[in-house]
Structure 1
Protein backbone atom coordinates (compact mmCIF):
# COMPACT_ATOMS: atom_id res chain seq x y z
CA UNK A 1 0.00 0.00 0.00
CA UNK A 2 1.21 3.44 -0.77
CA UNK A 3 1.30 6.42 1.58
CA UNK A 4 -1.33 5.06 4.00
CA UNK A 5 -4.34 5.27 1.66
CA UNK A 6 -6.87 2.47 1.81
CA UNK A 7 -7.19 0.33 -1.29
CA UNK A 8 -9.61 1.78 -3.82
CA UNK A 9 -9.79 5.26 -2.30
CA UNK A 10 -8.93 8.30 -4.32
CA UNK A 11 -7.28 11.04 -2.24
CA UNK A 12 -9.57 14.05 -1.85
CA UNK A 13 -12.55 12.33 -3.49
CA UNK A 14 -14.76 12.90 -0.43
CA UNK A 15 -14.18 16.65 -0.44
CA UNK A 16 -17.33 18.22 -1.82
CA UNK A 17 -17.98 21.89 -2.39
CA UNK A 18 -21.66 22.50 -1.81
CA UNK A 19 -22.38 25.51 -3.99
CA UNK A 20 -25.51 26.58 -5.89
CA UNK A 21 -24.61 24.51 -8.92
CA UNK A 22 -24.13 21.37 -6.78
CA UNK A 23 -27.44 22.00 -4.96
CA UNK A 24 -29.35 22.45 -8.25
CA UNK A 25 -27.88 19.23 -9.62
CA UNK A 26 -28.72 17.38 -6.39
CA UNK A 27 -32.33 18.62 -6.50
CA UNK A 28 -32.66 17.68 -10.19
CA UNK A 29 -31.31 14.17 -9.56
CA UNK A 30 -33.61 13.68 -6.55
CA UNK A 31 -36.56 14.86 -8.70
CA UNK A 32 -35.77 12.10 -11.21
CA UNK A 33 -36.91 9.60 -8.56
CA UNK A 34 -33.60 7.79 -8.22
CA UNK A 35 -32.28 6.14 -5.09
CA UNK A 36 -29.59 7.74 -2.93
CA UNK A 37 -27.05 5.49 -4.67
CA UNK A 38 -28.14 6.81 -8.09
CA UNK A 39 -28.13 10.42 -6.87
CA UNK A 40 -24.65 10.03 -5.37
CA UNK A 41 -23.36 8.47 -8.60
CA UNK A 42 -24.79 11.32 -10.68
CA UNK A 43 -23.15 13.84 -8.30
CA UNK A 44 -19.83 12.01 -8.55
CA UNK A 45 -19.66 11.10 -4.86
CA UNK A 46 -20.02 7.95 -2.79
CA UNK A 47 -23.35 7.21 -1.10
CA UNK A 48 -21.64 7.50 2.29
CA UNK A 49 -20.46 11.01 1.33
CA UNK A 50 -24.00 11.93 0.31
CA UNK A 51 -25.35 10.81 3.70
CA UNK A 52 -22.54 12.59 5.54
CA UNK A 53 -23.30 15.89 3.81
CA UNK A 54 -27.03 15.36 4.13
CA UNK A 55 -26.57 15.31 7.91
CA UNK A 56 -24.20 18.27 8.04
CA UNK A 57 -25.49 20.67 5.37
CA UNK A 58 -29.07 21.86 5.73
CA UNK A 59 -29.07 23.39 2.23
CA UNK A 60 -28.08 20.04 0.70
CA UNK A 61 -30.68 18.16 2.76
CA UNK A 62 -33.39 20.64 1.69
CA UNK A 63 -32.39 20.39 -1.99
CA UNK A 64 -32.76 16.61 -1.83
CA UNK A 65 -36.08 16.94 -0.01
CA UNK A 66 -37.44 19.41 -2.61
CA UNK A 67 -36.38 17.13 -5.46
CA UNK A 68 -37.91 14.06 -3.83
CA UNK A 69 -41.11 16.05 -3.23
CA UNK A 70 -41.28 16.91 -6.93
CA UNK A 71 -40.93 13.24 -7.86
CA UNK A 72 -43.68 12.27 -5.43
CA UNK A 73 -46.03 14.93 -6.81
CA UNK A 74 -45.40 13.75 -10.38
CA UNK A 75 -46.25 10.18 -9.46
CA UNK A 76 -49.32 11.30 -7.50
CA UNK A 77 -50.53 13.26 -10.51
CA UNK A 78 -49.95 10.32 -12.86
CA UNK A 79 -51.76 7.98 -10.44
CA UNK A 80 -54.68 10.39 -10.16
CA UNK A 81 -54.86 10.71 -13.96
CA UNK A 82 -54.87 6.90 -14.31
CA UNK A 83 -57.49 6.55 -11.58
CA UNK A 84 -59.76 9.08 -13.31
CA UNK A 85 -59.34 7.39 -16.68
CA UNK A 86 -60.62 4.08 -15.30
CA UNK A 87 -57.48 2.13 -14.41
CA UNK A 88 -58.97 -0.01 -11.64
CA UNK A 89 -55.70 -0.73 -9.84
CA UNK A 90 -54.90 2.97 -9.71
CA UNK A 91 -58.40 3.72 -8.39
CA UNK A 92 -58.09 1.14 -5.62
CA UNK A 93 -54.59 2.29 -4.68
CA UNK A 94 -55.71 5.92 -4.62
CA UNK A 95 -58.75 5.22 -2.44
CA UNK A 96 -56.88 2.95 0.00
CA UNK A 97 -54.30 5.67 0.57
CA UNK A 98 -56.58 8.70 0.61
CA UNK A 99 -59.49 7.11 2.55
CA UNK A 100 -57.90 4.29 4.55
CA UNK A 101 -60.71 4.03 7.11
CA UNK A 102 -63.23 3.24 4.39
CA UNK A 103 -61.08 1.31 1.89
CA UNK A 104 -58.66 -0.66 4.04
CA UNK A 105 -58.56 -4.42 3.41
CA UNK A 106 -58.01 -5.24 7.04
CA UNK A 107 -59.93 -3.50 9.82
CA UNK A 108 -58.45 -3.62 13.27
CA UNK A 109 -60.65 -3.94 16.32
CA UNK A 110 -59.32 -3.34 19.77
CA UNK A 111 -61.12 -4.89 22.71
CA UNK A 112 -60.18 -4.63 26.34
CA UNK A 113 -61.56 -7.29 28.62
CA UNK A 114 -60.91 -7.20 32.33
CA UNK A 115 -61.48 -10.70 33.67
CA UNK A 116 -59.70 -12.13 36.63
CA UNK A 117 -58.48 -15.71 36.61
CA UNK A 118 -60.99 -16.70 39.27
CA UNK A 119 -63.88 -15.21 37.24
CA UNK A 120 -62.74 -17.10 34.17
CA UNK A 121 -62.40 -20.35 36.12
CA UNK A 122 -65.89 -19.90 37.61
CA UNK A 123 -67.33 -19.29 34.13
CA UNK A 124 -65.68 -22.49 32.83
CA UNK A 125 -67.03 -24.48 35.80
CA UNK A 126 -70.54 -23.14 35.19
CA UNK A 127 -70.32 -24.04 31.48
CA UNK A 128 -69.14 -27.53 32.41
CA UNK A 129 -72.01 -27.98 34.89
CA UNK A 130 -74.52 -26.88 32.24
CA UNK A 131 -73.10 -29.37 29.73
CA UNK A 132 -73.17 -32.18 32.30
CA UNK A 133 -76.77 -31.37 33.26
CA UNK A 134 -77.85 -31.33 29.61
CA UNK A 135 -76.16 -34.67 28.96
CA UNK A 136 -77.87 -36.14 32.00
CA UNK A 137 -81.26 -34.93 30.87
CA UNK A 138 -80.74 -36.28 27.35
CA UNK A 139 -79.79 -39.76 28.59
CA UNK A 140 -82.79 -40.29 30.92
CA UNK A 141 -85.47 -42.53 29.49
CA UNK A 142 -88.57 -40.41 28.77
CA UNK A 143 -90.88 -43.42 29.09
CA UNK A 144 -89.72 -44.11 32.66
CA UNK A 145 -90.27 -40.49 33.64
CA UNK A 146 -93.79 -40.60 32.22
CA UNK A 147 -94.65 -43.80 34.03
CA UNK A 148 -93.40 -42.48 37.36
CA UNK A 149 -95.42 -39.34 36.80
CA UNK A 150 -98.52 -41.39 36.13
CA UNK A 151 -98.03 -43.33 39.35
CA UNK A 152 -98.27 -40.29 41.56
Structure 2
Protein backbone atom coordinates (compact mmCIF):
# COMPACT_ATOMS: atom_id res chain seq x y z
CA UNK A 1 0.00 0.00 0.00
CA UNK A 2 1.50 3.36 -1.01
CA UNK A 3 2.12 5.70 1.87
CA UNK A 4 0.73 9.17 2.47
CA UNK A 5 -2.43 9.14 0.34
CA UNK A 6 -5.60 9.35 2.42
CA UNK A 7 -7.72 7.51 -0.18
CA UNK A 8 -5.73 4.33 0.38
CA UNK A 9 -6.48 4.49 4.11
CA UNK A 10 -10.23 4.72 3.47
CA UNK A 11 -10.27 1.26 1.87
CA UNK A 12 -11.34 -1.78 3.90
CA UNK A 13 -7.72 -2.96 4.03
CA UNK A 14 -6.42 0.46 5.04
CA UNK A 15 -9.00 0.91 7.81
CA UNK A 16 -8.22 -2.57 9.18
CA UNK A 17 -4.51 -1.69 9.24
CA UNK A 18 -5.20 1.57 11.13
CA UNK A 19 -7.38 -0.26 13.65
CA UNK A 20 -4.70 -2.93 14.13
CA UNK A 21 -1.99 -0.34 14.77
CA UNK A 22 -4.20 1.39 17.34
CA UNK A 23 -5.07 -1.95 18.96
CA UNK A 24 -1.34 -2.75 19.19
CA UNK A 25 -0.86 0.39 21.27
CA UNK A 26 0.75 2.69 18.70
CA UNK A 27 0.31 6.41 19.32
CA UNK A 28 -1.10 8.74 16.67
CA UNK A 29 2.47 9.94 16.05
CA UNK A 30 3.66 6.38 15.39
CA UNK A 31 0.65 5.63 13.17
CA UNK A 32 1.30 8.80 11.16
CA UNK A 33 4.93 7.70 10.70
CA UNK A 34 3.75 4.27 9.49
CA UNK A 35 1.40 5.96 7.02
CA UNK A 36 4.19 8.25 5.85
CA UNK A 37 2.59 11.56 6.79
CA UNK A 38 2.93 14.23 9.44
CA UNK A 39 0.94 13.78 12.64
CA UNK A 40 -0.94 17.01 11.86
CA UNK A 41 -2.03 15.42 8.57
CA UNK A 42 -3.39 12.39 10.41
CA UNK A 43 -5.31 14.74 12.75
CA UNK A 44 -6.75 16.52 9.69
CA UNK A 45 -7.80 13.17 8.21
CA UNK A 46 -9.44 12.15 11.48
CA UNK A 47 -11.47 15.38 11.37
CA UNK A 48 -12.43 15.07 7.70
CA UNK A 49 -12.97 11.33 7.37
CA UNK A 50 -15.03 9.73 10.11
CA UNK A 51 -14.05 6.26 8.85
CA UNK A 52 -10.41 6.89 9.82
CA UNK A 53 -11.35 8.39 13.17
CA UNK A 54 -13.70 5.48 13.96
CA UNK A 55 -11.14 2.82 12.97
CA UNK A 56 -8.54 4.33 15.30
CA UNK A 57 -11.10 4.67 18.10
CA UNK A 58 -12.23 1.03 17.74
CA UNK A 59 -8.64 -0.17 17.97
CA UNK A 60 -7.86 1.92 21.05
CA UNK A 61 -11.11 0.99 22.81
CA UNK A 62 -10.25 -2.72 22.65
CA UNK A 63 -6.87 -2.21 24.32
CA UNK A 64 -8.32 0.16 26.93
CA UNK A 65 -10.88 -2.46 27.92
CA UNK A 66 -8.20 -5.15 28.16
CA UNK A 67 -6.06 -2.95 30.42
CA UNK A 68 -9.04 -2.03 32.59
CA UNK A 69 -9.90 -5.71 33.00
CA UNK A 70 -6.31 -6.60 33.86
CA UNK A 71 -6.12 -3.79 36.43
CA UNK A 72 -9.38 -4.87 38.04
CA UNK A 73 -8.26 -8.51 38.13
CA UNK A 74 -4.98 -7.49 39.78
CA UNK A 75 -6.77 -5.23 42.28
CA UNK A 76 -9.16 -7.99 43.36
CA UNK A 77 -6.72 -10.91 43.24
CA UNK A 78 -7.30 -14.19 41.44
CA UNK A 79 -6.45 -17.89 41.37
CA UNK A 80 -4.93 -19.92 38.56
CA UNK A 81 -3.86 -23.49 37.97
CA UNK A 82 -0.20 -24.21 37.33
CA UNK A 83 0.73 -27.53 35.77
CA UNK A 84 4.19 -29.02 35.57
CA UNK A 85 5.04 -31.38 32.74
CA UNK A 86 8.05 -33.58 32.25
CA UNK A 87 9.30 -35.43 29.21
CA UNK A 88 8.84 -39.20 29.61
CA UNK A 89 10.55 -41.69 27.34
CA UNK A 90 8.46 -44.35 25.59
CA UNK A 91 9.82 -47.91 25.23
CA UNK A 92 8.73 -50.83 23.13
CA UNK A 93 7.50 -53.47 25.62
CA UNK A 94 8.88 -56.31 23.47
CA UNK A 95 12.33 -55.01 22.62
CA UNK A 96 12.89 -52.57 25.45
CA UNK A 97 14.15 -50.01 22.93
CA UNK A 98 13.24 -46.36 23.16
CA UNK A 99 10.52 -45.49 20.65
CA UNK A 100 10.06 -41.83 21.42
CA UNK A 101 8.91 -39.59 24.24
CA UNK A 102 5.93 -37.54 25.35
CA UNK A 103 5.07 -34.84 27.86
CA UNK A 104 3.30 -36.02 30.98
CA UNK A 105 1.66 -33.87 33.66
CA UNK A 106 3.48 -34.53 36.91
CA UNK A 107 1.96 -31.88 39.17
CA UNK A 108 -1.08 -29.57 39.20
CA UNK A 109 -1.24 -26.78 41.78
CA UNK A 110 -3.86 -24.09 42.32
CA UNK A 111 -2.10 -20.81 43.08
CA UNK A 112 -3.51 -17.58 44.43
CA UNK A 113 -2.42 -14.06 43.57
CA UNK A 114 -3.26 -11.76 46.46
CA UNK A 115 -5.11 -8.49 45.78
CA UNK A 116 -2.71 -5.65 44.98
CA UNK A 117 -3.25 -2.57 47.15
CA UNK A 118 -1.47 -0.30 44.66
CA UNK A 119 -3.89 -1.37 41.93
CA UNK A 120 -6.79 -0.85 44.35
CA UNK A 121 -5.63 2.67 45.23
CA UNK A 122 -5.11 3.57 41.58
CA UNK A 123 -8.57 2.24 40.69
CA UNK A 124 -10.33 4.06 43.53
CA UNK A 125 -8.54 7.38 42.99
CA UNK A 126 -9.59 7.36 39.34
CA UNK A 127 -13.07 5.88 39.67
CA UNK A 128 -14.12 7.72 42.86
CA UNK A 129 -11.93 10.83 43.01
CA UNK A 130 -14.28 12.77 45.30
CA UNK A 131 -13.81 10.11 47.98
CA UNK A 132 -10.26 8.83 47.38
CA UNK A 133 -8.03 11.53 45.90
CA UNK A 134 -5.19 12.83 48.07
CA UNK A 135 -5.75 16.52 47.38
CA UNK A 136 -8.98 17.97 48.71
CA UNK A 137 -10.51 21.29 47.66
CA UNK A 138 -11.61 22.97 50.86
CA UNK A 139 -13.54 26.23 50.83
CA UNK A 140 -13.68 28.62 53.78
CA UNK A 141 -16.53 31.03 54.23
CA UNK A 142 -17.07 33.83 56.74
CA UNK A 143 -15.00 36.68 58.04
CA UNK A 144 -11.75 36.76 59.89
CA UNK A 145 -11.90 38.83 63.04
CA UNK A 146 -8.62 40.03 64.48
CA UNK A 147 -7.87 42.19 67.47
CA UNK A 148 -5.53 44.88 66.08
CA UNK A 149 -4.86 47.63 68.67
CA UNK A 150 -3.24 49.81 65.96
CA UNK A 151 -6.11 49.64 63.45
CA UNK A 152 -7.34 53.20 64.13
CA UNK A 153 -3.88 54.85 64.06
CA UNK A 154 -2.69 56.79 61.03
CA UNK A 155 0.63 56.19 59.36
CA UNK A 156 1.99 59.33 61.02
CA UNK A 157 0.89 58.09 64.47
CA UNK A 158 2.50 54.70 63.83
CA UNK A 159 5.81 56.38 62.85
CA UNK A 160 5.76 58.39 66.07
CA UNK A 161 5.29 55.22 68.10
CA UNK A 162 8.19 53.54 66.32
CA UNK A 163 10.55 56.47 66.82
CA UNK A 164 9.76 56.83 70.52
CA UNK A 165 10.37 53.16 71.41
With normalisation by structure 1, the TM-score equals 0.62
Structure 1 residue 100, shift from structure 2 partner:
1.3
Match of 1:109, SS state, is coil
Determine whether 1:29 maps to 2:49: no
From the two aligned structures, give the one with the greater strand fraction.
2
Within a 5 Å distance, the mapping from 1:1-152 to structure 2 comes to: 14-17=4-7, 18-85=10-77, 86-113=115-142, 123-124=145-146, 127-129=147-149
Q: Against the structure 1 CA distance between its residues 51 and 128, is the aligned structure 2 distance closer, same or farther, given a 3 Å change threshold?
A: closer
Q: Determine which structure has the larger helix proportion and give its number.
A: 1
Larger Rg: 1
Compare 57-66 and 33-42 and name the one that shifted more.
Answer: 33-42
CA 1:13–1:64 in 2, change beyond 3 Å: closer, same or farther?
closer
TM-score calculated relative to the size of structure 2: 0.58
Equivalenced residue count is: 109
Q: Which runs of 5+ in 1 are unaligned?
A: 1-11, 130-152
Superposition CA RMSD, Å: 2.2
Shift of 1:40: 2.1
